[in-house]
Amino acid sequence: MRVRVLGTAAGGGSPQWNCACQQCGHARSSGTHRSQDSVAVSGNGSDWYLLNASPDIRTQILSTLELTPGPATRETPLRGVLLTDAELDHVLGLFQLREAATLDVYATAAVLGALDGPLPVRRVVDPYGRGWGWHAVTDEFELKGGLTVRPFPLGDKKPRYASDRDGDGWVVGYRIGDFVYAPCFAQWTDSLDEALDGARVALIDGTFLAADEMPDVKGHLSIHDSASHVACHPGVRFLYTHLNNTNPLLSGGFAYPVATEMEVL
Ligand code: MLT
Ligand code: MN
Ligand code: ZN
């Protein structure tokens, strides 16, 4: 199994276009940019799937040798996208993938409902392709290339644009082979502990270092608050991802491990 990190920043990226804070200023002047959270995985090196489709997806794909099209003119190794939630930083990239003739999108029923409701991605992109597959995930499922995927629940954080919608199952993580991807969770749950059991590498929510970093933003357990749970899984290599531009880890100098873009895990 191959795992390539494409983006490691939270919504807005680092630097954020309209932010003049010290960290964004430093990222801007030093050129140490981070793009928005996304990962590419493959079981065989030729069939690839994205975990979340960020607004930065075009440049992320152009920077990733494994996602180069060919040999036929419109042949691509990209087979699909697995969504962890319906947040804009994780789904807006679907619009940019509209040139794909076929693409399999996997998400929970709540997320698929949002993408056919207040953010009508399905209705917008479907006329461009030959018909994408939209798959509701519940239990374990298989991907081309020999990957087995197990979604697990991580809460009910709804995007602001879907705040009036009902239902549960808004956020999941994925266990794929020995890899765990969980970039959004408000609490450390038993489902996360179970998914981590026997895993080799885990990319987890590193939005905030401290809970009071952005008092008006909820839904992300801080790194300080997840640290004791992380310590219960000594056999797993943890890397923090989805870093918000307020997170001091972006400036370095902390012992917490941060995912590196383009790294193969
Ligand atoms: C989040 O992760 O909380 C959201 O992506 C916030 C946002 O919409 O920017
Ligand atoms: Mn986000
Ligand atoms: Zn900033």
**Ligand 1 atom at shortest distance from the alpha carbon of 184:** 2
Centre of ligand 2 from the C-alpha of residue 4, in Å:
19
Contact indicator for 89, 55 with CB cutoff of 8 Å: yes
- Opening angle at CA 201, ends 88 and 57, nearest 5: 30
Secondary structure E strands in the chain: 2-7, 38-42, 48-51, 78-82, 104-107, 133-136, 141-143, 147-153, 172-176, 179-182, 201-205, 237-241
Enter the CATH code of domain 2-251: 3.60.15.10
| Smallest CA separation from ligand 1 atom 9, residue | 11
Which atom of ligand 1 lies closest to the CA of 87?
Answer: 5
Q: Per-domain residue ranges for the chain?
A: 2-251
State the pLDDT at residue 188. 98
pLDDT at 215: 85
**Over residues 131-145, mean pLDDT:** 97
Tokens of 64: 């990733």
**Mean pLDDT throughout 173-186?**
98
Tell me, using a 6 A CB cutoff, whether residue 10 lines ligand 1.
Answer: yes
216 vs 4, which has greater pLDDT? 4
Best probe residue, ligand 1, of 88, 216, 242 (max atoms within 8 Å of C-beta): 88
Atom in ligand 1 nearest the alpha carbon of residue 217 = 3
Ligand 3 geometric centre to CA of 34 (Å): 12
Strands 48-51 and 78-82: parallel
Whether the model pTM is above 0.85: yes
* Nearest one of 58, 16, 53, 61 to 34, comparing CA atoms: 16
- For residue 159, give the ligand 1 atom closest to its CA: 8
| 216 pLDDT higher than 90 | no
pLDDT > 70: what percent of the chain?
100
Q: Dihedral sign, CA of 150, 186, 210, 6?
A: positive
DSSP state letter for 73: T
Parallel, antiparallel or unpaired: strands 172-176 and 147-153: antiparallel
**pLDDT tens-place string over residues 78-116:** 999 999 999 999 999 999 999 999 999 999 999 999 999
Distance CA 204, CA 181 (A): 6
Cβ–ligand 1 contact at 1 (below 6 Å): no
Q: Which SS3 state, helix, strand or coil, does residue 185 take?
A: coil
Q: What is the pLDDT of residues 35-54, one digit of tens each?
A: 999 999 999 999 999 999 99
Question: Which percentage of the chain shows pLDDT scores above 90?
Answer: 97
Q: Is the CB of 219 under 6 A from ligand 1?
A: yes
Cα gap 8→20, rounded to integer Å: 20
